[in-house]
Structure 1
Amino acid sequence: MSNLSRYEKLQKLRTLMKQFEIDAYIIPSSDPHMSEYPPSWYKRREFMTGFSGSEGVCLITDKCAMLYVDGRYTVEASSVAPPEFQVHEVKNSFYWHIVDLLKTSKFIGNLGIDMQVTSWRVYEAIIKYIKEAEETSNREFKVSLKLLETNLVDLIWTDRQSLMVSSNSIFIHGIEYTGETSVSKIRRILEIMQQEKSSILTICDISEIAWILNLRGSDVEYSPLFASFLILQRFNDEKNKPSTEIPYKIKFFVDKMKVTQEVLDYLYCEFCKNIQIFPIEDFIKELKSTVECATLSFSNDSMSKIWLPQSECNLAVYNAALETIKEKVDSTSYPCGSIYELFHDTKLSSHLLTKMSIVEYFRSKKNEVELDGMRSCHRYDGLALSRFLYYLDCSCMDDSIFNNKMTEWDLSEKLYRLREEQPLYKYPSFPTISSIGSNGAIIHYRPSEENSKVIQSTMYLCDSGGQYLTGTTDVTRTLFLFKNNGSTRPTLKQIDSFTRVLVGFIRLNKTIFPSGTTGGDLDIIARLSLWEVGLDYSHSTGHGVGSFLCVHEGPYGIYKTRDFTKSLSLEPGMVLSIEPGYYEVDNFGIRIENLVEVVAVETENDSNGQFLGFKPLTYAPIQKELIDLSILSYDEIEWLNWYHSKVLENIEPLIENDLEFLSWLVAKCAPITKELNRKPTPQTLYQ
């Protein structure tokens, strides 16, 4: 990425900070689209630190360099960050910790942020934390926010432009996979815009744009996305028109070099003259022009709102829209202050709609074609993973896996090759977490070919997934790699921890809940068995998953602390993960993960409205030799036996001419029973 050492990068950045009159500078993980996984040319934090995790924020001053990460990445960040950077695990917001550090160090000066990679939500949070800190600082702390249109890291990242050149084109994702035409999706969005009295919807989230247009690309590793922006403008000269008659215009901003003639023909066929394609660099200019046009209708109450979703629109987008409204409506009645003051001016902000994009909600509820695709790809994915588990068992039986040559990387490559054999498979949905022993405690560990551990007889955690044209998969299995002679056994702590993770996994899978329940309401169910003995895990219990899109899809999920998910209840058609875990640093890690679909459930009493539950999508055996049967209830054992019967039911028809593998799968899916008397030592299947 660069010939500069990380120390040299830091020194050059500090020189630039002085030139721009900045005393502290924030480098977030985000890009202009607020992506969790940005295109390679936006990975500025990774360029500076070497840390490649999905979340983390840097703060640079003339005296210190800090890297803030959450609990998933503490171990990894500490191992890869250069000595010039101090790694801190955050318990609250990243930006609360940043402001707290500045306050503690009695900082007085300019704090620089790049408007294009800062969301409005983050901007407001920073201002709030600064105000709170200044009120209790006795004038020893004073921060002036400096909003930048230039990213300082880009000025030292000399070969960054070369990463933006891609030979891979955008391609059409057919109706046989999406189940709905793009124009139908636009009509649904227009209907909501009409209800919200919105004339413009600005979409910066690249996964939303891919979903709307039924297009896919390759700008983001492991996700079929392409850098782009989209503006949907609604024209309405009559009230209460049906959505099929509402006139509209789509402005699509993209690298035109990646748009083939086939894609152009498709878009013009789908939308006729209602779509215009612009270079991606023209987005802000055209946004201003579109907003300027919309201001002419602000006197008409039927369409007075410009929809800029807070979670995905960056500060530069808000600045462009607010400044244009201010100039074109009545500049004398608006304040001349900061963008923050403009946003909070009652008259000016009345023209903005900042709620969650309706596209996120529509995308989260898969249609029947998408669900059928997810079910299909998960069966084949389950076949690949089951073959991998079979390979591990066979390699343990003949001890070939313990030859002091086989590594975590080798196992990840084996699983990759097994997935490649499956129909409609494209590539992994994220880097495979193939981790032996203590590496399992690094929640998002990624082995490399040059630096990965040799396989030993101990705990092994494998978290992997695939992108298929029909859907996206994500699955984790943890197992103990037994030697053939029985000389190694899991510890009592490993057995107890694994069983408690499994109990939480089963309990949540079994849960039936009323319509209107959020993922946050359910999170505790997966943790209770661990809490009973003082254990817990620092990551979420579950996340949404896209359909040949992102393996992490928001904003729904099963989170303990993310308040913004509490407003989005779980509904039929949503697909999400259930993945409790436990991690003991420098020892082992445990996680069990399946994807599930939310389904309607019939109950004995139907007078209290609709009830929902989870239906497994993932089918692969769970290692029974690690289970302390005395901890599981009879109901939990019954569910595990039911699940394994479904594994066999879904995978067996896909097995051709391989009786040994089939016999192994039948044995791994055989039901287990529980004796009545609880034993003082774990009752496991290897005893």
Structure 2
Amino acid sequence: MKFWIAALFLCNSGFWSCKSQSYSELEEARRNGELRKACSKHGHPVQPERRVNSTARLIELRKIMDSELILATTAVQAYLITSSDEHQSTDVDEYDKRWQYISGFSGSYANIIVTQKKAALWTDGRFHLQADEQIDCNWLLFREGHRHIPTMSEWLKNEFPNATRLGLDPKLVSQHMWNYIGHELKETKIELVALNVSLIDVIWPSNERQQRRYKEAFLLDEEYTGKNYYTKINETRTELLNHGADAMVVTALDEIAWLLNIRGRDVPNSPYVRSYVILDMEHIYLYVNNSQIPQTVRNQLHYDSKIHRSDTVILKDYDQIWSDLGTLSQLYKKILIPSHCVYNYGASHAIYQHIFEDRRMLRQSPIIYLKAIKNEVEIKWMLQTNIIDAAAVCDCFAYINKKVRRGERLFESHLVTYLNQDRYTQNHSLGNSFTTRVGFASNGAFPKYEPTTNTDKQIFKNSTLVLDSGGQYYGGTTEVTRTLHFGEPTDEMKEAYTRVLIGLIQLSTLTFPSNMRMAVADAMARASLWEVGLDYLHETGHGVGSFLGVQESPIKVHFNSEVSAQQTFKPGYFLSVGPGYYRDGVFGVRLENMLQVIEKPWLERTTHSYYGFKTITFVPFEPNLIKFSLLSAQQKKWLNNYNEQIRHLVGEELKKRSRMEGFYWMMDKTQYIPENHSNIMLNTPYLIILLNVVSIALNYV
């Protein structure tokens, strides 16, 4: 029914020609990737302002696909493009955004296949609306998460029932993806072809492409890490021996940053140095642009030691990894090659191919699990960092509120600037952990919307404003999302906001056995929305690093994820939890806090330990948007306790920094809420849901 209503909206808006279009025909168009905004074959509908004309670029790419001279092999009939760099990162340098150059889509996740006749893009629920706005009518859009959407392999089988060649860049495709696609296509005559050249690099003019970033690296002091790099090296070596390996190639930038306590700015918003590491029981080889490593860092890594020690980091040129892999791997019995784990896609196919076949051991990187559990020092700083960050956010929100009340002209982009500036002024801040997102009214219905020159809306008092931002500090990484309203919200907005808030509270207060799967927790966040037939298409939560990535493995909270059904929470994990509601074309609501997984030893009465969550984000909610009649007495009590923490912790920080406007705004938003006379939906539905999903999870073990 929801899809039919959406389809009618597209028809009435002139985005789709609906003369004689039935519901089944529209469903078929969605499955085929042809349900596109403003791509009707009848008339000339107005194109969205953000749409990018890709015609010339696709023509150039198809010429290269057919050029045996450039390919140095037989022509390919299809070409695969991912949204990763050579390290399979989820956040990449502008230089590496090849998928954006060819398609115009700027979201952080996409897989693309271009053939001589068609161009197809796959993305998930975070970016469905954004992709439809940005890619032009040359493209098919496959909305992952909906039913009956074909995978890339299924689509290829349908397009090429006979023999064909699928080209790809082996450095930009993970071994996991190579294996998966290869398995899906094994009964066909579709051949995977690892090309020696990136076709997008060939057609992308250098004057239109940003240069690679090469920022100077620095070491993060033990004051923040709690462990020196040698201790981490020894822990990793122990894990390798437990796996039966005597060496490992480390390809993920966040893992290298954690392992060596080294940080940099080679990737926007993430403190990474572009590098590889080969680690064995006696040596640490760091492959990096040597000019980025100052003498102070070399000294701390014992690079200039006259006598080689097992903690000496041997610096090598970044590209030398390709010759050394074959040479060094001959010295080992087994070398661990990282495989897929949640947001870590593992080593590239190129890395895999450069290691002798009988020496390969494809396993999840042990570093993922070592760095996910924060030590006492990191936990202390994660808490302190979130307090500092909350002060910046409160001060910014107060400033915005004042300008709106005065009737000043204010646009989404202004809010991005204000919030970024406030965060940069904080102690030990290195800026944002991701690009700040501010969406007013209909723009707020895009889960990952970022203001652009063409879409920048003025802020008024008649709709919701969604602000999603985070910071990078020496002591930790933060993320917070709040939804504001400067006027009188509608009842629909209040109900949506309150149900999202209830979901956040329900998950945050959950107590659970140690063997509960992550997928189970998601039901608590969505239950209030499910109760009235609503939902959102993105995950509810993900891991957060300690001055590392804002999206960290192995933590993913989603009820319909195979990964989430396998992973369990551990004390010391930190995660960001952000339920939402998005009414296409009208408004959006999202609320996001960071949580710490803690033990509850006083509940150990059986063979299971019990865990819970501790909230470490301290930014007020918007009382003007809360429909208090929907809250139970327990939920109101939680909210009052939360507000009291904010007044105490953030209030002190704001006063210390003499940010009194932020202080008074914060005090106004955290006033006491009467806890009695609730006519809530009873807690029974939530209890039933929890009991059912816990039962399923326990049976899964």
Identify the TM-score tier after normalising by the shorter chain.
Answer: 0.7 to 0.9
1:151 maps to a residue whose letter is S
1:527 maps to a residue whose letter is R
Match of 1:40 in 2: 94
Residue 393 of structure 1, CA deviation: 3.1
- Alignment CA distance shift 1:282-1:640 (3 Å): same
**Residue range with higher mean Cα deviation, 651-660 or 355-364:** 651-660
Do 1:95 and 1:126's aligned partners in 2 also have CA atoms closer than 8 Å?
Answer: no
Aligned pairs for 1:60-79 within 5 A: 60-79=114-133
Match of 2:673 in 1: 672
Residue 604 of structure 1, CA deviation: 4.7
Determine whether 1:619 maps to 2:618: yes
- Alignment CA distance shift 1:497-1:655 (3 Å): same
**RMSD between aligned residues:** 2.3
SS of 1:202's partner is strand
The correspondence for 2:222, drawn from 149, 166, 175, is 175
2:426 maps to a residue whose letter is Q
**Residue range with higher mean Cα deviation, 119-128 or 671-680:** 671-680
SS of 1:225's partner is coil
Determine whether 1:128 maps to 2:212: no
| Cα displacement string for residues 48-92 of structure 1 (whole angstroms, at most 9, x for unaligned residues) | 122121100111001011121111111111212233223221237
The correspondence for 2:169, drawn from 88, 107, 114, is 114
Match of 2:335 in 1: 306
Determine whether 1:276 maps to 2:314: yes
SS of 2:87's partner is coil
- Alignment CA distance shift 1:164-1:516 (3 Å): farther
Determine whether 1:376 maps to 2:405: no
Do 2:223 and 2:377's aligned partners in 1 also have CA atoms closer than 8 Å?
Answer: yes
Do 1:116 and 1:149's aligned partners in 2 also have CA atoms closer than 8 Å?
Answer: no
Write the distance in 2 (CA, Å) between the matches of 1:270 and 1:535.
61
Do 1:543 and 1:577's aligned partners in 2 also have CA atoms closer than 8 Å?
Answer: yes
Residue 655 of structure 1, CA deviation: 2.5
Match of 1:460 in 2: 465
Aligned pairs for 1:377-526 within 5 A: 377-400=385-408, 405-448=409-452, 451-457=455-461, 458-482=463-487, 489-526=488-525
SS of 2:241's partner is helix
Determine whether 1:319 maps to 2:345: no
Determine whether 1:578 maps to 2:577: yes
Do 2:541 and 2:558's aligned partners in 1 also have CA atoms closer than 8 Å?
Answer: yes
Aligned pairs for 1:558-569 within 5 A: 558-569=557-568
1:47 maps to a residue whose letter is Y
**Residue range with higher mean Cα deviation, 610-619 or 37-46:** 37-46
Write the distance in 2 (CA, Å) between the matches of 1:305 and 1:93.
41
Question: Which runs of 5 or more residues in structure 1 are unaligned?
Answer: 135-141, 235-247, 295-303, 326-347, 483-488, 681-687
Match of 1:255 in 2: 289
**TM-score, normalisation: structure 2:** 0.83
Match of 2:14 in 1: none
Match of 2:24 in 1: none
SS of 1:308's partner is strand
Residue 451 of structure 1, CA deviation: 4.1
| Cα displacement string for residues 365-396 of structure 1 (whole angstroms, at most 9, x for unaligned residues) | 11111111111111111111111222233334
**TM-score, normalisation: structure 1:** 0.85
Match of 1:332 in 2: none
- Alignment CA distance shift 1:18-1:538 (3 Å): same
2:176 maps to a residue whose letter is R
Residue 450 of structure 1, CA deviation: 5.9
1:478 maps to a residue whose letter is T
Residue 165 of structure 1, CA deviation: 4.6
Do 2:253 and 2:274's aligned partners in 1 also have CA atoms closer than 8 Å?
Answer: yes
| Cα displacement string for residues 645-684 of structure 1 (whole angstroms, at most 9, x for unaligned residues) | 111111111133455543442232122125537499xxxx
The correspondence for 2:205, drawn from 151, 158, 164, is 158
Do 1:204 and 1:313's aligned partners in 2 also have CA atoms closer than 8 Å?
Answer: yes
SS of 1:354's partner is strand
| Cα displacement string for residues 562-582 of structure 1 (whole angstroms, at most 9, x for unaligned residues) | 323444321111111111111
Write the distance in 2 (CA, Å) between the matches of 1:161 and 1:252.
32
Do 1:544 and 1:557's aligned partners in 2 also have CA atoms closer than 8 Å?
Answer: yes
Write the distance in 2 (CA, Å) between the matches of 1:544 and 1:679.
32
SS of 1:180's partner is coil
Residue 558 of structure 1, CA deviation: 1.3
SS of 2:331's partner is helix
Do 2:266 and 2:272's aligned partners in 1 also have CA atoms closer than 8 Å?
Answer: yes
Write the distance in 2 (CA, Å) between the matches of 1:285 and 1:593.
45
- Alignment CA distance shift 1:430-1:55 (3 Å): same
1:549 maps to a residue whose letter is L
Residue 263 of structure 1, CA deviation: 1.6
Do 2:630 and 2:678's aligned partners in 1 also have CA atoms closer than 8 Å?
Answer: no
- Alignment CA distance shift 1:515-1:675 (3 Å): closer
Aligned pairs for 1:175-324 within 5 A: 175-234=222-281, 248-268=282-302, 273=308, 274-294=312-332, 304-311=333-340, 312-321=346-355, 324=356
Aligned residue-pair number:
611
1:70 maps to a residue whose letter is D
1:578 maps to a residue whose letter is V
- Alignment CA distance shift 1:384-1:265 (3 Å): same
Do 1:381 and 1:466's aligned partners in 2 also have CA atoms closer than 8 Å?
Answer: yes
Do 1:578 and 1:596's aligned partners in 2 also have CA atoms closer than 8 Å?
Answer: yes
Write the distance in 1 (CA, Å) between the matches of 2:320 and 2:263.
21
Write the distance in 2 (CA, Å) between the matches of 1:646 and 1:270.
49
2:451 maps to a residue whose letter is P
- Alignment CA distance shift 1:264-1:162 (3 Å): farther
1:309 maps to a residue whose letter is P
- Alignment CA distance shift 1:630-1:153 (3 Å): same
Do 1:430 and 1:464's aligned partners in 2 also have CA atoms closer than 8 Å?
Answer: yes
- Alignment CA distance shift 1:651-1:367 (3 Å): same
1:30 maps to a residue whose letter is S
| Cα displacement string for residues 14-56 of structure 1 (whole angstroms, at most 9, x for unaligned residues) | 0111124100111111122111012222211011122121100
Write the distance in 1 (CA, Å) between the matches of 2:508 and 2:217.
38
1:306 maps to a residue whose letter is I
Residue 164 of structure 1, CA deviation: 4.7
Determine whether 1:16 maps to 2:64: yes
SS of 1:467's partner is strand
Write the distance in 1 (CA, Å) between the matches of 2:147 and 2:83.
14
Aligned identity (percent) is: 30
- Alignment CA distance shift 1:151-1:603 (3 Å): same
Aligned pairs for 1:356-371 within 5 A: 356-371=364-379
SS of 2:666's partner is helix
Do 2:251 and 2:347's aligned partners in 1 also have CA atoms closer than 8 Å?
Answer: yes
1:27 maps to a residue whose letter is I
Question: Which runs of 5 or more residues in structure 2 are unaligned?
Answer: 1-51, 341-345, 682-701
Do 1:630 and 1:674's aligned partners in 2 also have CA atoms closer than 8 Å?
Answer: no
| Cα displacement string for residues 543-568 of structure 1 (whole angstroms, at most 9, x for unaligned residues) | 11111111111121312333234443
